[in-house]
Structure 1
Amino acid sequence: MALPPSSRQVRAFLALVHHLKFTRAAQELNVSQPTLTVQINQLEEQLGIKLFDRNKRRVELTPAGRNILPLMERLSMDMDEILLAATDLTYARRGIVKIAALPSVAASFLPRAIMVFRDQNPGIEINVWDVVGEDIIKLVKAEEVDFGIGTRISSDRTIKVEDYVSDSLCAFFPVGHPLANAAPVLQISDFASYPLVLTRKNSTVRVLFERSMEREGCEVSVVMEANYMSTALSMVRAGVGVAILPTSAVEAGNMTGLAYKLVDAPWFNRRVGIIRKADRSLQPVAQRFIETMHSMPDLRTDESFKSVRRLDKVPARISGPGGGRSDGFLASVP
Structure 2
Amino acid sequence: MRHAHDSSASCVNRCVSALPIATAHEILPTVERMLRDLESIRSSVKELAGRERGRLRFAATPSIAATPSIAAAIVPKLLAEYRALYPNIEVSVDDAAPDRLTASTLTGDVEFGIGTISERPDGITLQCLARDNLCAICRKDSALAKKRRVSWKDALQYPWIGIKSTSGIRKLIDETLFTLGMRKAVEYEVSYMTTGLSMVQAGLGIAIFPGILLGSFPHRDLVARRLEAPLVTRDVNLIRRAEHSLSPAAESFIELWYKRVGKPADL
Q: Which residue of 2 aligns with 1:299?
A: 261
Q: Distance in 1 between matches of 2:229 and 2:199?
A: 24
Any conservation in 2 of the 1:171–1:260 contact (CA below 8 Å)? yes
Write the distance in 2 (CA, Å) between the matches of 1:95 and 1:278: 22
The question of 1:289 aligning with 2:256 is answered no
Inter-CA distance 72–142: structure 2 relative to 1 (3 Å threshold): same
Structure 1 residue corresponding to 2:208, chosen from 228, 240, 244:
244
Aligned to 2:113: 148
Q: Do the aligned partners of 1:162 and 1:274 also contact (CA within 8 Å) in 2?
A: yes
**Displacement after TM superposition at 1:246 (Å):** 1.5
Alignment of 1:3-82 (within 5 A): 29-31=9-11, 36-37=14-15, 54=20, 59-61=21-23, 66=26, 74-82=33-41
The answer to which structure, 1 or 2, has the higher relative contact order (CA under 8 A, 6+ apart) is 2
Alignment RMSD (CA, Å) = 3.6
Q: 144, 169, 184: which one pairs with 1:220?
A: 184
Instruction: Report the CA distance between 1:95 and its aligned residue.
Output: 1.7
In the alignment of these two chains, the number of paired residues is 255
Conserved? CA contact 1:208–1:267, under 8 Å: no
Partner in structure 2 of residue 85 of structure 1: 44
> Larger C-alpha radius of gyration, 1 or 2?
1
Tell me by how many angstroms 1:286 deviates. 0.9
Indicate the residue corresponding to 1:120 in structure 2. 85
In structure 1, which of residues 188, 199, 211 is the aligned counterpart of residue 175 of structure 2?
A: 211
- 1:309 and 2:265 are equivalent in the alignment: yes
What is the match of residue 232 of structure 1? 196
Aligned residue among 180, 186, 206 for 2:150: 186
What is the TM-score of this pair, normalised by structure 2?
0.75
Provide structure 1 residue ranges, at least 5 long, that are not aligned to the other structure.
1-6, 13-28, 42-51, 301-306, 313-334
* Mapped partners of 1:136, 1:308: distance in 2: 21
Q: Residue 263 of structure 1: CA displacement?
A: 0.9
In the aligned structure 1, how far is the partner of 2:152 from the partner of 2:84?
45
- In structure 2, distance between residues paired with 1:168 and 1:263: 8
Q: Compute the displacement of 1:122 (Å).
A: 1.9
Alignment partner of 2:228 out of 242, 264, 267: 264
Kept in 1: contact 2:162–2:170 (CA 8 A): no
Separation in structure 2 between the aligned mates of residue 200 and residue 134 of structure 1, nearest angstrom: 16
* Paired AA for residue 166 in structure 1: R
Tell me if structure 2 keeps the 8 A contact 1:201–1:207. yes
Once the 2 structures are TM-superposed, how far is the Cα of residue 257 of structure 1 from its aligned partner? 2.7
Contact 2:114 2:239 in 1 (8 A): yes
Q: Residue 285 of structure 1: CA displacement?
A: 1.4
**Deviations 1:178-203 (CA, angstroms, capped at 9, x unpaired):** 6446x332222233352323266344
Instruction: Determine the C-alpha separation between the residues in 2 that align with 1:200 and 1:96.
Output: 38
Could you tell me which amino acid in structure 2 is paired with residue 299 of structure 1?
A: V
Correspondence for 2:64: none
Structure 2 distance, partners of 1:172, 1:288, is: 35
> Over residues 27-49 of structure 1, what are the superposed CA-to-partner deviations in whole Å (9 max), with x where a residue is unaligned?
xx43597xx23x788xxxxxxxx
Return the alpha-carbon distance in structure 2 between the equivalents of residues 83 and 191 of structure 1.
61
Taking the aligned partners of 2:246 and 2:201, their CA distance within structure 1 comes to 43
1:292–1:78 CA distance, 2 compared to 1 (3 A): same
Q: What do the CA deviations read for 1:220-252 (whole angstroms, capped 9, x no partner)? A: 33432334x434312333455422112211221
Distance in 2 of aligned mates of 1:207 and 1:133? 14
Give the match's secondary structure for 1:30.
helix
Percent sequence identity is: 27
Q: Do 1:197 and 1:224's aligned partners in 2 also have CA atoms closer than 8 Å?
A: yes
Query: Aligned partners of 2:95, 2:174: CA distance in 1, in Å?
Result: 23
- Alignment correspondent of 1:98: 57
The separation in 2 between residues aligned to 1:206 and 1:138, in whole angstroms, is 23
Structure 1 CA distance for aligned equivalents of residues 136 and 99 of structure 2: 23
SS of residue paired to 2:240: strand
What is the rounded CA distance, in whole Å, between the counterparts of 1:239 and 1:127 in structure 2? 40
* Cα deviation 1:77-106 (Å, max 9, x = unaligned): 444433333332222111221233355433
Deviates more, 1:94-103 or 1:281-290: 94-103
